[in-house]
Structure 1
Amino acid sequence: MEYYEVYTDGELSQKLSQGDRKAYVTIYDRYYSLLYLYAFKKLGNREEAKDIIQEIFISLWEKHREITFDVSLSSYLYRSVRNRALNIFAHREVEKKYLDSLQDFLVQHHQSADYLVRENDIAELIAREIENLPPSMRKIFLLSRNEHLSYKQIAEALNISEETVRTQMKRALKTLRVKLGVFVYWFVFI
């Protein structure tokens, strides 16, 4: 019976590249908590940190035969966390710009009849897509956007965690962005 806990990272990496599941589990056990703390420090969000670590370990197993460790196993794992955190920061910035742009567009009032028709069409489309959100997600979204409540206020009002509110808002915005992206572009520029 082999005791994988005594293997060095280099030995575990070699066994992993050969498809050894016990080596993979040992790497997971050895690094999960450390990587989670590192990701949480970078992101300040528990759920995003957990998601990143899960994605990294899934990728590590899926690509175990292809990965060549040019650096140590720990360096590879920490670099993976850092890169995914940077992707999240970039995504947040794009999301913010998109919402700011959409908000600016909706706030502007032009007198053109053509513009008003398009604006009404977009407003109806947005309202319809908001109605298609799952009930709890829709309620959280409307409390945030229409009532201008903070995530903390929404969490208290609905007796749920602030993290749940944040996650539901993120999912609602992603859903709306996917469903409305092409349509808003079409209505605005055509």
Structure 2
Amino acid sequence: MITTQQLQLLKEGNKNAFEALYRAYNARIYSFVLSMIGDAGVAKDITQDIFLQIWEKRLNIDLEGNFDGYLFKISQNMVYHYVRRELLLQNYVDKLSNESADESVE
């Protein structure tokens, strides 16, 4: 658990506060993402992206809000974004494969 004081330091750009946040939440976030994705490599990458986004949007952190909820909502949104992107890519590949198959039949 991270304290309000640590969150304030994080908002101010304190790298030690960010490292404390990372140590406190990395394993839990990774496990959460892995449970949704099922691929360890992808889960690791998404977890890193989540912490990068936290750093980039640190000024938006609500010190009075539920930080755990905020962090896990970001995690969930990042997973959904990944899945959406993968589905779009797969649909595109399928469409190209079908068009190639149709052309070779003709």
TM range (shorter): 0.7 to 0.9
Contact kept? 1:43, 1:49, Cα under 8 Å: yes
Instruction: Please give the TM-score of this superposition, normalised by the length of structure 1.
Output: 0.50
Match of 1:42 in 2: 36
CA distance in 2 between counterparts of 1:80 and 1:44 reads: 18
Q: Aligned-pair distance for 1:72?
A: 1.8
Match of 2:97 in 1: 103
Q: Aligned-pair distance for 1:8?
A: 4.2
1:67 to 56, 60, 65: 60
CA distance in 2 between counterparts of 1:71 and 1:79 reads: 13
Instruction: Report the structure number with the largest CA radius of gyration.
Output: 1
Number of positions where the alignment pairs a residue of Structure 1 with one of Structure 2: 103
CA distance in 2 between counterparts of 1:33 and 1:50 reads: 10
1:27 to 14, 21, 30: 21
Give structure 1 regions of 4+ aligned residues with deviation exceeding 6 angstroms.
Answer: none
Instruction: Please give the TM-score of this superposition, normalised by the length of structure 2.
Output: 0.86
List aligned pairs for 1:81-96, cutoff 5 A: 81-96=75-90
CA distance in 2 between counterparts of 1:12 and 1:73 reads: 11
CA distance in 1 between counterparts of 2:66 and 2:4 reads: 7
- How many percent identity over aligned positions? 23
Match of 1:76 in 2: 70
What RMSD in Å do the two structures reach over aligned CA positions?
Answer: 1.7
The DSSP-based 3-state class of the residue aligned with 1:19 is: coil
Gaps of 5+ in 2: none
Gaps of 5+ in 1: 1-6, 111-190
Answer 1 or 2: higher relative contact order, Cα 8 Å, separation at least 6: 2
Contact kept? 2:33, 2:76, Cα under 8 Å: yes
